[in-house]
Amino acid sequence: MSQTVDTFFNLPCLATEHPTHESKPEASTNCHSCTIFELSEIVFAIPSHFISAIIQYKDLSQIPFVTSKACPGFIPHNGNPIPVIDLAHVLDLNNPNLKSRILIFKFDSLLSAITPDKIIAVEKLRIINGPIPGSESFSEGYTIYNTKPVAIIALARLSKLICEEVL
Amino acid sequence: MNIGHSLEDLFSIEHETHLKEMEIGLVEFRNSGFNHNNVKKLFRAAHSLKGAARLVKKELIEKTTHDLEGLLKEIEERGSITNEEIAKMEYLISSLGGKINISGDVYNCPSVSSSSLLHITTSHISELIQLASELSVLTRRIDIEACSIKGLKPEVSQDIQRAETIANQLQRMTYQLRLTNLSELTRGLHTITAELATSLNKNISLKVYNVNTLIDRELLRKIEPCLIQLLKNAIDHGFEDLAERQKQGKNAICSLAIKAKQCGTCVEIEFKDDGRGVDLEKIRKKVIEKGLHDKTTAEALSSEELLEFLFLPGFSTKDELTAISGRGVGLDIVKSTLLELGGDVSVRTATGKGTSFILQIPSRIASFKALIFKCAENFIGVPLCYVNKVVETGDIVLSRSSGQTVVRYQDENILLADAARVLQLSRESTEKKNNRPIIILDVKDRKLALIVDSISEEREVVINPLDSRFEKVAAILGIAADHGNKLISIVNPEYIIAQPLVAIGNESQETSSIRGETKSLKVLVVDDSLTVRELQRRLLIQQGFDCDVAVDGIHGLEKLKEKDYSLVITDIDMPRLNGFDLITAIRSTPKLVRIPLLVISYKDRSEDKELALNLGANAFLNKGSFKDDTFAATVRSLLRGEENA
């Protein structure tokens, strides 16, 4: 059964759309179409307007001196080499990746990809700004899906992480 | 932003005319200082261009000319002009100048007839190239698949082949869109040469060879100021005056030659003058005067080491400033520009005979023949111009020399290394086939034998760079269009051969070191000079330490992530990440906060020392410390300090 961020990040379970974390007193809200996906039995979300494509998993090509544990390889997509980020490794999730899909996103004109285990839904959801306590590095907000808080992946941080790993 | 071509054409002509007036006005300012009429002329040109730019919605040109107007107004009101204002004016005018304007839009080249003019952005060209590359690969794949289909109509087969030919032509043509030849640049250099020669009363002949050498338009735009700087330096103080030339029996006409050639994936531009040459003793004197080295160290510096000082910011051997050169800003910018582009600049000089600057400019987009091989389930390519020979392990004599496995080839012992290991690729399977092919790479007379899994093919590839996040990765020239579902990484043999390599058969020694089975202390040496690196490594091994090396700060950080070290020794001036930034990165990493850090720089400047120590270095030595036991003593002392702590 899938976990949501409350259990993963050790948060109290939130039953309402307006959580009352003490550390987040002034959460601004807005609605966006979000792609909900599962990775290592945890549910995450990405605003759909960042997503360029979701394709079947294909083998990754290693690029000498570039690939790392966080970026284990690249895929060709529309003639471009796209770096694939191992989100499970980045978030320190233990379960092996199922390698079923590749989700390509564009942030700041740069394409990157992640490999979710399962795409669950695309839904218009309210995004609550600010990180969930304990997940500051890779979450830039959260949304409520099926009455549970789901972390919105911080794409800026993730996109930048690739070059930090190379360095 | 779409405007009619006719208006665009007119703007182009007007732009060229006004730009020419501005360039002449600028030269006049440089030669004669403030002149009321000159200010008026320049102002008029800037104002007219601003109006035209506004009409065709060239907003950045409009803004730049507006800034120029403002500057000229200030100069006019004050009645004088400063060198800084001339430099600012030069910057503004050069911003208006190239064939690619400051907004990144490629617009009309004046020499092209108006019927063939095109308005297109560089990003569109890049996309077009990528799509054409993909189409070419797809048609190739379809052609291969079609061969295995039984009963395929011959007409269909012919159509597929025709589609493949067209796709290849399309790929080549789109690729040509990004390229231009050097003649676009050299036209401007001839004008500047003529103007400077007149103002300095020198008779100068500029000859350009191989002007048809192709180069990426964007790169050409970036290196244009570098060539202008070299030109100014040569004309202003590289050439002797007429009397001196005659006294030395030289031709009265000073000769400047620019030679371009394609070397693998780089374009090499040699800038050669037949002037007086660089006065090495004058550099040595300046080094001492500026306190960069003490007298003893400075006297021991070789000519190559002395010439390196020319690229230091603020370093000039000229005693007098002119409006053209002598401020000590110029060569450092040339060097940093080339390094930013992934290239380099070097200098050769002979007293009384002249000086050559050699600029190496890597092509971000290029097409060349590559040898493609398989390594750890990946397709890797090397430009064919670096491949000396391909042999099979069974056909060549392997032997041991100085404890390393070598290939005996053409009376030379060549280090044999595993490609997967050298390229840092991880294998899923540890099984290695027998009789694997060996590629002998030859880079500027240095050879390396790389053992690979299999040879795939030899073919023309068009490479695209990785995106901006990876632009500092010098090891990869680019990625070629995909091979089925795999990408082909085209590696840079020049980078690979400069790496510290482990020969086949020596891995066990390294592995034991990684596992910490050795009790000796590990030291990391970070230095971009192979000689210095090797010297330090040997000295440390003699002292009983384990030593790893890294070629620059980035490589150093990678090593520090991989292993635990007892001491880091670093140089200051390095490409990609310099010593200061490396120290900062180390000290901001919690697990490395206490690691002893020794800085060794041959540019023994007090400000460098102070900064390094402030950033967190524990000691600072100059490279003269290798001559006695200062180096070894400092290393031992730093390591003792760590043990005591």
Is any Cβ of chain B less than 8 angstroms from the Cβ of A18?
A: no
Task: Please determine, for residue B479, whether its predicted confidence score (pLDDT) is greater than 70.
Answer: yes
Average pLDDT of the segment spanning B75-102: 74
Interface contact flag, A167 B472, Cβ < 8 Å: yes
Element housing B526 (H / E): strand B522-526
CA B321 → CA B22, B83, B311, B398, distances in Å?
24, 10, 18, 60
Task: Please determine, for residue B145, whether its predicted confidence score (pLDDT) is greater than 60.
Answer: yes
Average pLDDT of the segment spanning B368-378: 88
Edge-first strand order for the sheet with B354-362 is B204-209, B254-263, B266-273, B354-362, B344-350
List residues in chain B touching A: CB distance below 8 A: 130-131, 133-134, 376-380, 423-426, 464, 466-470, 472-473, 475-476, 479, 481-482, 485-487, 489, 491, 554, 557-558, 577
- Most trustworthy range by pLDDT among A41-55, B49-63, B316-330: A41-55
Average pLDDT of the segment spanning A88-92: 82
At B365, the pLDDT band (50, 70, 90 cuts) reads low
* Residue bearing the bigger pLDDT, B588 or B317: B588
* Residue bearing the bigger pLDDT, A21 or B383: B383
Tokens 């890797």 -> residue: B380
Task: Please determine, for residue B111, whether its predicted confidence score (pLDDT) is greater than 80.
Answer: no
Question: Which of B414, B454, B450 shows the shortest CA–CA distance to B433?
Answer: B454
* Residue bearing the bigger pLDDT, B255 or B366: B255
Distance (Å) from the alpha carbon of A64 to chain B's nearest alpha carbon: 5
* C-alpha to C-alpha distance for B282 and B349, rounded to whole angstroms: 14
* Residue bearing the bigger pLDDT, B516 or B279: B279
Average pLDDT of the segment spanning B367-371: 79
A-interface mutation test, from B365, B427, B468, B470, most A Cβ less than 10 A away: B470
**CA B17 to mean position of chain CA atoms:** 34
* Confidence at residue B263, expressed as pLDDT on a 0 to 100 scale: 67
B-interface mutation test, from A60, A65, A66, A166, most B Cβ less than 10 A away: A65
CB A116 within 8 A of CB A62: no
pLDDT tens-digit map of B331-350: 888 888 888 777 788 899 99
Question: Which of B86, B74, B94 shows the shortest CA–CA distance to B31?
Answer: B86
Is any Cβ of chain B less than 8 angstroms from the Cβ of A108?
A: no
* C-alpha to C-alpha distance for B251 and B273, rounded to whole angstroms: 12
* C-alpha to C-alpha distance for A27 and B109, rounded to whole angstroms: 54
Interface contact flag, A63 B131, Cβ < 8 Å: no
The ipTM, to two decimals, is 0.78
| Proportion of chain A above pLDDT 70, given as a percent | 71
* Confidence at residue A2, expressed as pLDDT on a 0 to 100 scale: 57
CB-nearest partner of B376 from A62, A83, A167:
A62
Residue A36, strand partner residues: A45, A121
Interface contact flag, B481 A79, Cβ < 8 Å: yes
Average pLDDT of the segment spanning B606-616: 86
Interface contact flag, B425 A76, Cβ < 8 Å: no
CA B66 → CA B44, B107, B160, distances in Å?
12, 21, 56
Q: What is the DSSP string of B14-39?
A: HHHHHHHHHHHHHHHHHHH---HHHH
Question: Which of B27, B23, B36, B106 shows the shortest CA–CA distance to B75?
Answer: B36
Task: Please determine, for residue B352, whether its predicted confidence score (pLDDT) is greater than 60.
Answer: yes
| Proportion of chain B above pLDDT 90, given as a percent | 9
* Confidence at residue B328, expressed as pLDDT on a 0 to 100 scale: 44
Strands (DSSP E) found in B281-418: 344-350, 354-362, 366-375, 378-383, 387-392, 397-401, 404-409, 412-418
Q: Which of A57-61, B110-114, B143-147 has the lowest mean pLDDT?
A: B110-114
* Confidence at residue B628, expressed as pLDDT on a 0 to 100 scale: 56
- Most trustworthy range by pLDDT among A52-56, B109-113, B335-339: A52-56
Token digits of residue A144: 């409520």
* Confidence at residue B583, expressed as pLDDT on a 0 to 100 scale: 92
Average pLDDT of the segment spanning B569-582: 87
- Sign, CA dihedral B412-B416-B422-B425, equals positive
CB-nearest partner of A163 from B379, B469, B485:
B469
At A114, the pLDDT band (50, 70, 90 cuts) reads very high
Is any Cβ of chain B less than 8 angstroms from the Cβ of A16?
A: no
Interface contact flag, B424 A59, Cβ < 8 Å: no
* Residue bearing the bigger pLDDT, B26 or A95: B26
Task: Please determine, for residue B98, whether its predicted confidence score (pLDDT) is greater than 60.
Answer: no
Average pLDDT of the segment spanning A62-76: 87
At B428, the pLDDT band (50, 70, 90 cuts) reads low
SS3 string, B397-452, reads EEEEECCEEEEEECCEEEEEEEHHHHCCCCCCCCCCCCCCEEEEEEECCEEEEEEC
Q: B599-609 burial string, b = 16+ CB within 10 Å, else e?
A: bbbbbbbeebb
Task: Please determine, for residue A45, whether its predicted confidence score (pLDDT) is greater than 80.
Answer: yes
Task: Compute the mean pLDDT over every residue in chain A, rounded to the nearest whole number.
Answer: 76
At B410, the pLDDT band (50, 70, 90 cuts) reads confident
Interface contact flag, A110 B464, Cβ < 8 Å: no
Average pLDDT of the segment spanning B483-504: 75
Distance (Å) from the alpha carbon of A158 to chain B's nearest alpha carbon: 12
* Confidence at residue B341, expressed as pLDDT on a 0 to 100 scale: 76
CB B306 within 8 A of CB B283: yes
Token digits of residue B118: 């095109």
A-interface mutation test, from B129, B418, B467, most A Cβ less than 10 A away: B467
At B582, the pLDDT band (50, 70, 90 cuts) reads very high
Task: Please determine, for residue B431, whether its predicted confidence score (pLDDT) is greater than 70.
Answer: no
pLDDT tens-digit map of A130-147: 666 555 566 778 888 888
Is any Cβ of chain B less than 8 angstroms from the Cβ of A61?
A: yes
How many CB pairs below 8 Å do chains A and B form together? 84
Task: Compute the mean pLDDT over every residue in chain B, rounded to the nearest whole number.
Answer: 78
Interface contact flag, B467 A110, Cβ < 8 Å: yes
Average pLDDT of the segment spanning A26-50: 81
Task: Please determine, for residue A80, whether its predicted confidence score (pLDDT) is greater than 80.
Answer: no
CB B540 within 8 A of CB B523: yes
- Most trustworthy range by pLDDT among A115-124, B6-15, B185-194, B195-204: A115-124
Q: In chain B, whose CA is at the least distance from the CA of A58?
A: B485
CB-nearest partner of B425 from A62, A75, A79:
A62
CB-nearest partner of B424 from A58, A65, A75:
A65
Question: Which of B508, B240, B272, B469 shows the shortest CA–CA distance to B352?
Answer: B240
